[in-house]
A and B are shown apart, each in its own frame.
Chain A
Amino acid sequence: MSVALKDRSMVLQKEMIANHFERLARAPETGEPVVYTFVPGNLTELIRSFGALPVLPEINALQSGMRKLSGEYIAEAERAGHSEDVCTYVKCDIGMMRSGNIGPGGKKLPKPDLLLLSYTGCYTFMKWFELLREEYDCPTVMFHVPYQGDGKLEPEHREYMLRQLREQVIPALEKATGRKYDEEKLRHHLALSAIAEEDLVAVLQAGKKRPSPIDGYFGTVYYVGPIFSAFRGTQEGVDYYRALREEVEERAMLGLGPITPEGPLEGEKYRLVVEGPPNWTHFRDFWKMFADEKAVVVASTYTKVGGTYDFGFRHDPNDPLGTLADYCSGCYTNLNLPSRIDMICQYIKEYEADGFLINSVKSCNSFSAGQLMILREVEKRTGIPGAFIESDLVDPRYFSAANIKNRLESYFQMIDARRAGKTP
C-alpha cells in the first residue's frame, strides 16, 4: 500500500507478508508443507499446528488485481475454456498458475501438498479446488460447513463439522505433512488468535467514533489481511494487531480521521456502511471517489468474510475443534440473507451512518444474488435510502469509473438534501 503516512503497523504487515512469500518460495527446498485453503472458513491455526504454510488463492487473486495483472490472467483462463460468466478470482488464479505461478511477492508459489477445501459460504470454492486438483494432481480434502439457512448454527451441524475435522481433515493434514495432530500446539495458536482478534475488534469498532479514525472498508481490507490469511494464530499476527490498535486509538484520541491514499482525511462529511467486496483493479481510484467527497466508511460486511469477530466470536483454546467449527459457521457469506440484513441495520444504527452502499460484483453469487433484496429491506427498516453500484473484483473490464463516480456524487447530493430536509 502506498499511502502518505507509513505507520508501524504497515511496515510490520509488509515485512510479515514478504517473509511469508519468501518462505513459500523456498518451501520446495526447506520441505515446509504447503496447504491451500480459502479465506472464509480458513483453518489457519490447525494448518499451522502441523507446521504447514497456508496459501489463500483469493488473496493472490486480489493482489493480482491490485498489481494490474488480473486482466491478462483472466484472458489466459478464458482462452483455456473458462467461461466469461464465472467468478474472476478463479480465472485469475488459474491464469496466474498457467503464467508461471508467480505470487504477489514476485516469487514462484509452491505447489500445494494439500488442497483443504473448506466449503464455507461459497459454492464456487468447491469448483475452484476441483479445478486446481486437475492442475496439481494433489490430495484434496473437503470440509463441508453447513450453511446457516435458518440463521443459526444447529448443534447437529456443529457435531457434523467436528466429525469431519477428526475423521477427514486431520488425517489428511497428517498424511500431507507427515506429522501427528498435536492438540497442544493447536491450543497455542488459538490462544494467539484470540489475542489478535480482541485487538482487531477494537480497531473495527473505532469506526463508531466521530470522526472515525479508520475507514471501515477500504482501509480495513488492509487491516484484516493478516488475520484473514496466514497470520491468525501467530505471534506476528498478535504484534501486528497490537501495533495497529495503538495507532488507531491514538488517532481516535487526537480526533483524527482515517489515512487514505491521498493522506489523512480531515472533515468527515458522510458516514457510510458498505456491503459487498471492493473492486481491486481500480482500488485506489475507487477509494479516492469516497475520500474526495469526505465520505468515510464506518463499517462494512466484506471485512467480516473471514470472521464476524465484532459480534463476539473469539477462537477458544479450551475447545480447539469446536471453536474452529463455530468460526467457520459464522463467516459472513455463510449467513443467510435475513442475518446479513440484521447485521447491516445494526451497523447503520451503532455506527451512526448517514447512508449505505452496496457494491455488487459480477463475479460473486454468494454476495450478489439477493443484494437488491438486501437494499430494499435495509431501506425499509432504517428509512435510509441506499446506493447500488456495480463492478467486479479483479476483471478490469467491469469497472466503469465514470458511472460509479456519477452514482456516488448523486448519492451524496441526496444525503445532503435529506439533511437539509428537502426530501422525506
Chain B
Amino acid sequence: MATRVDGGMGAPMARGAVVEWARDIYDDLDFTVVRQWLEEHPKSKAGGYLPVYAPREVLHATGFLPVGIHGGGDRLEIIRGDAFYQSYICHLPRSVIELAQSGRLDMLSAVLFPSTCDVIRNLSGIWKLLYPDVYVRYVDVPQIPDPGAAAEFWAGELRRLLDDLGDVTGHRPTDEELRRSIALYNETRKMIRTLYAARRERPWDVPTEELYLLLRAGESVAPEEFIARARQYLAAVAADPKRQRDNSRVVIVGAFCEQPPLGLIKSIERAGCYIVDDDFLLGNRFLTHDVPTDGDPVRALADAFIRNDMKSSVLYEIDPGGKRSLMANRVAAANADGIIFATPSFCDPALLDQPMLRNGAEKAGIPCIAFKYAENTGQFQQFREQAGTFADSIKLWGAA
C-alpha cells in the first residue's frame, strides 16, 4: 500500500499515492467523492453523463459537477439490472440500472445520454420513466461536419441544455462563466493529451493501469482536482523512471463505451504489450483542439465539435476512405506495432465498425487480434495468452 506524501493538491505526491487516490475513487461505487463535493458545495448539483461525448462545459457552467457514469465493472453484483435487459444486450446498461436502482446514483439531479448507440438512447427513456424527478436529456450530436446546418443544430442543442440545466440549478451562466468552464476543460483535455503523450513516449513509465485509474478518477472529481493530481502524477513519474522492457506496442480499439475490467488492461500489459494508444473513456478527450475562449461561447463549442478531427465509431464517417485509413493513421501516430480490437460483447458501434477498420489495418500490413469482453469479465487467462502470443508474434515479425 502506497503511503501518501501529501494530501494537498499543490505539493508533490508519490506515484503510488496518486494511484491509490485514483483507485479508491474507481473502486467506490457509492461515489463518495461526489457526495462529499456536494456537501462542500451546497448550492451546486451533480450531473451524470453516459459515454461517449457529452459537453461537460455546459454542465459545469450551470453549476453541476459533471460525473461520468461508466457502469459498475466487475465490482458490482447485478441483482436488479438483469430484469431490464435481455441476455443479448451489452452489459453496461444493466450495471448502470443496477447502480441507479440501488440508490448509488441518487445524488444526480440530471443525466445526459449521448447519441452513442440505441442502447444508451433507449436508456434515456427508461430513466425518464424510472426517475421522473431527474432531468434527462438525450444528447443528439450532429453527424456531419457541416459548418452550416449541423453547427447551427448543435448550437441550438447546447443552448437548450444551458437553459434546461440552468433551470435545474437555478444558475443561468453568463457568457463569461461559460468561457471559464470552456477554458477549464481545455486545460483538462490538454492534461489528458500530455498524459497520453507521456505514455506514448515512455509506456514503461506510464503503465496504462495507472493512467486509466487516473482518468477514471477524473470522471468523478472537479476538473481542477484532476488536473492537480495529474500534474503530481507526471512529476512523480519523472522522478521515478522505470526500466524499459522488450514489449510490443499496441493500440486498443473498440473499448470506448462499456469499459474493460481493470484486470483485462493489466493482463494485456503483463502479457508483454505496451498500450500506447486506446479509446478508453474517449469522451474526456473527444475534442482534439482547444475550444476558443473568445466570441460567442456556445457557437465556439458547437464549431469546435464540427471542426473536430476525432474519428470514432459513434459518428458517421463522411470520408469514404476514412474507415480504411484510420487504423494505419492511429498506429503511425502512436508508433505502434499492432492493434488489439477489444470490444464489449454485443456492442453495435464497435462490432459493426470492426470489419472496416480491421480490413484497412490488415491491408496496411498491421498485425491485429480481436476479442470481446464484458465489463464484469472475471477470467483473464485467455486474454493474457492471446495478448502474449500476439506480442511474441509481433516481435518475431519485427525481427524477421
Contacts and interface: CB of A to CB of B under 8 A. Distances in A.
A188 interface: no
Contacts of A140: 320
A122 B129 contact: no
B143 A81 contact: no
Contacts of A373: 84, 125-126, 129-130
Contacts of B150: 144, 160
Interface string B121-158: 11111101110000001101011101011101100100
A263 interface: no
Given A126-B143, A337-B129, A160 B149 contact: yes
A167 B152 CA distance: 13
A184 B348 CA distance: 41
B117 interface: yes
A369 B93 contact: yes
Interface in B49-103: 83-86, 88-89, 93
Interface in A139-174: 140, 142, 144, 146-147, 149-150, 156-157, 160, 163-164, 167-168
Given A119-B316, A137-B320, A373-B84, A337 B348 contact: no
19 contacts: A80-B355, A83-B354, A85-B351, A85-B372, A86-B351, A124-B348, A124-B352, A127-B313, A127-B352, A142-B318, A147-B140, A149-B137, A156-B153, A337-B124, A337-B125, A337-B129, A365-B122, A369-B118, A370-B84
Nearest to A139: B320
A134 interface: yes
B140 A390 contact: no
Contacts of B143: 119, 126, 142, 144
A126 B115 CA distance: 12
Contacts of A131: 352, 355-356
Contact of A336 (B125, B144, B349): B125
B358 interface: yes
Interface in B297-313: 313
A417 interface: no
A39 to B, nearest CB: 16
A419 to B, nearest CB: 28
Contact of B142 (A144, A147, A362): A144
Interface residues of A, number: 52
A130 B349 contact: no
A123 interface: yes
A156 B156 contact: yes
A369 B149 contact: no
A186 interface: no
B156 A365 contact: no
B31 interface: no
Interface of A: 80-83, 85-87, 90, 117, 119, 122-124, 126-128, 130-131, 133-134, 137, 140, 142, 144, 146-147, 149-150, 156-157, 160, 163-164, 167-168, 336-338, 340-341, 360, 362, 365-366, 368-373, 377, 390
Contacts of B213: none
Given A85-B346, A160-B153, A370 B353 contact: no
Closest 8 A-B residue pairs measured CB to CB?
A337-B125, A149-B138, A127-B352, A163-B149, A370-B122, A83-B351, A365-B118, A160-B153
Contact of B117 (A85, A337, A365): A365
Nearest to A364: B118
A167 B351 contact: no
Given A149-B137, A150-B137, 13 more contacts: A85-B347, A123-B121, A128-B352, A130-B353, A142-B143, A336-B138, A337-B125, A338-B125, A365-B119, A366-B118, A369-B118, A370-B84, A377-B129
A136 B107 CA distance: 50
Given A85-B346, A168-B146, A370-B125, A147 B115 contact: yes
A134 B86 contact: no
Nearest to B356: A134
A163 B85 CA distance: 37
Contact of A372 (B85, B149, B318): B85
Contacts of B126: 337, 370, 373
A127 B129 contact: no
B217 to A, nearest CB: 29
Instruction: Report which residue of A90, A147, A338, A340 has the largest number of chain B beta carbons within 10 angstroms of its beta carbon.
Output: A147
Contact of A164 (B121, B140, B149, B356): B149
Contacts of A85: 88, 345-347, 351, 372
Instruction: Report which residue of A123, A124, A360 has the largest number of chain B beta carbons within 10 angstroms of its beta carbon.
Output: A123
A95 B38 CA distance: 54
Nearest to B322: A130
B323 interface: yes
